[in-house]
Structure 1
Amino acid sequence: MRMDAHHKDLYPDVTAAGGLVPALKEAAKLRGCDIGLPPWATDAIGIETARGLLSVHPAADERLFRVRVLIPGFTWDSPGFSWEVGSTDDLGLLVGAIAAWREGVPFDELAARFEFLELDEFTRALETGEPTSSQWSDLLSSEFHRRQRNLLRRLHADEVLRNMFPTITHGAVRLRVHQLDGTSRQVLVHELEGDRYEVIRPGEPGAAWVEVPTGDLIAYLRAALTEQ
């Protein structure tokens, strides 16, 4: 993204680099940081991390790089969950924070190292079950996923399973342990005819669909998602 004439005095380093993305890449290279922008990137929207998509938005009336994190929605009518997590006028601090976020540095350590980050609202939301609780609400009320509603209700009724992050994948309900990590322990549950279910554990060696009796379903899923 290129700055227009109005921004040139505010962002001379960005203008000199040819835009925000080249400036971010240059600053990261100087500091030996990996901020996850591939060579073909043309904007700084949606930098992929295991804790959501990061984006950088320069302010129009003052020199300030605003950082937002988006956890995409997983229903057809849900835009996702978004927070602004801080802003700084220092490009070096910015790329350092992005790199540390991508590396999975704990939130309290991030806040201590990068004082411009304001993580209270974000971490409080995670601690109180967002976006998991909103995701359950969206799926349970979605007409688009009406066919999965009975299964969703059954899973949500369990005090352990309702804390897992739910999505729908090709008609099957996916439960994931960590809402911000798509590679974390998870299961897919497909409802068959006659009150029967089959389950698969993606990412496990030799993963295959296993038919699970209805009476054993909750215990089976609990074990699959919580065993050490």
Structure 2
Amino acid sequence: MNTHRKDLYPDVAASGGLVSAMKEAATLRAGEIWPAPSNTDAIIVETSRGLVSVDPATEERLFRVRVLVPGFTWEVPGFSWEIGSTGDLGLLVEAVVAWREGVPLDELAARFEFLELDEFARALERGEPTSSQWADLLSSEYHQRQRGLLRRLHADEVLRHMFPVISHGAVRLRVDLFDGASRQVLVHELDGERCEVRVGVPEADWVEVPTGDLTAHLRAVLNKQ
């Protein structure tokens, strides 16, 4: 930790790093956290409501808290959204412990005023993140160009249960939102009559499929995996 960051986070530096500092703070509050391996400076904690990351700011003393969806394979890393920030390490750890223990969001919001729990966080709590994501994408003006494709995929009783993401203009579907290695497909609409489809791994070939056969093709391929 450089001198500037030590000045901002003397308690973290004294503990030997953020992982140690958070574990010590959690123990003092009769809680536990289990940081997961990370390739970034952020500390990541696994929970049943997604991965929670804690990232210390460099310009001021501030611990930024985000919820992460694990990275999709291929070229897309996944996504995250911030749910709050605080300069109080003890308060931060209490909130992370409570999130990990499954404390209801209304109670979390009442106990920790720095948390900003949006509709997607509440969809996670309800166990409905996939339906919430579909609703957001289908109503999004930003993704209006993909709306016809989204509607076609959503109309299928199997595909609508896969988690959708728009990536480089294509629709990506994954069976399990929280499993980065879960079965997934990528669909790129070429025109009103043809789509390109890639299933499973980055090395897989793109396959051109008539738009009218798209959902049947996807279901057949997924059933083989």
The TM-score by the shorter chain falls in which range? 0.5 to 0.7
Q: Does 1:130 align with 2:128?
A: no
Equivalent in 68, 71, 89 of residue 69 of structure 2: 71
Which residue identity does 1:34 align to in structure 2? E
Matches within 5 A, 1:126-165: 129-130=132-133, 156-158=154-156, 162-165=160-163
Which residue identity does 1:70 align to in structure 2? L
Taking a change above 3 Å as real, the CA distance of residues 105 and 71 of structure 1, as seen in their structure-2 partners, is: same
Could you state the TM-score of these two structures normalised by the residue count of structure 2? 0.58
The answer to whether the 8 Å contact 1:21/1:44 transfers is no
Q: Does 1:15 align with 2:13?
A: yes
Taking a change above 3 Å as real, the CA distance of residues 21 and 43 of structure 1, as seen in their structure-2 partners, is: farther
Quote the Cα distance in structure 1 between the aligned partners of 2:119 and 2:97: 21
Partner SS, residue 85 of structure 1: strand
Could you state the TM-score of these two structures normalised by the residue count of structure 1? 0.57
**What's the counterpart of residue 31 of structure 1?**
29
The answer to whether the 8 Å contact 1:55/1:68 transfers is yes
Q: How far has the Cα of 1:77 moved from its partner?
A: 2.8
Quote the Cα distance in structure 1 between the aligned partners of 2:76 and 2:12: 34
Quote the Cα distance in structure 1 between the aligned partners of 2:175 and 2:56: 36
Taking a change above 3 Å as real, the CA distance of residues 57 and 106 of structure 1, as seen in their structure-2 partners, is: same
Quote the Cα distance in structure 2 between the aligned partners of 1:43 and 1:59: 10
Gaps of 5+ in 2: 138-145, 166-172, 185-216
Gaps of 5+ in 1: 135-140, 142-151, 168-172, 189-194, 201-208, 210-228
Quote the Cα distance in structure 1 between the aligned partners of 2:72 and 2:51: 14
Q: How far has the Cα of 1:159 moved from its partner?
A: 5.7
Quote the Cα distance in structure 1 between the aligned partners of 2:5 and 2:111: 29
Matches within 5 A, 1:189-208: none
**What's the counterpart of residue 93 of structure 1?**
91
Which residue identity does 1:10 align to in structure 2? L
- Cα deviation, 1:49-90, whole Å, max 9, x if unaligned, reads 222221111112221111111112434232212111111111
Partner SS, residue 63 of structure 1: coil
Quote the Cα distance in structure 2 between the aligned partners of 1:164 and 1:90: 38
Partner SS, residue 46 of structure 1: strand
**What's the counterpart of residue 212 of structure 1?**
none
Taking a change above 3 Å as real, the CA distance of residues 23 and 43 of structure 1, as seen in their structure-2 partners, is: farther
Q: Does 1:112 align with 2:110?
A: yes
Q: Does 1:47 align with 2:45?
A: yes
Q: Which moved more, 1:153-162 or 1:48-57?
A: 153-162
Which residue identity does 1:130 align to in structure 2? Q
- Give the number of aligned pairs: 175
Matches within 5 A, 1:168-183: 175-176=175-176, 179=177
Q: How far has the Cα of 1:154 moved from its partner?
A: 7.7
Q: Over aligned residue pairs, what C-alpha RMSD do you find?
A: 4.4
Identity %: 64
The answer to whether the 8 Å contact 1:21/1:42 transfers is no
- Cα deviation, 1:186-225, whole Å, max 9, x if unaligned, reads 999xxxxxx896999xxxxxxxx9xxxxxxxxxxxxxxxx
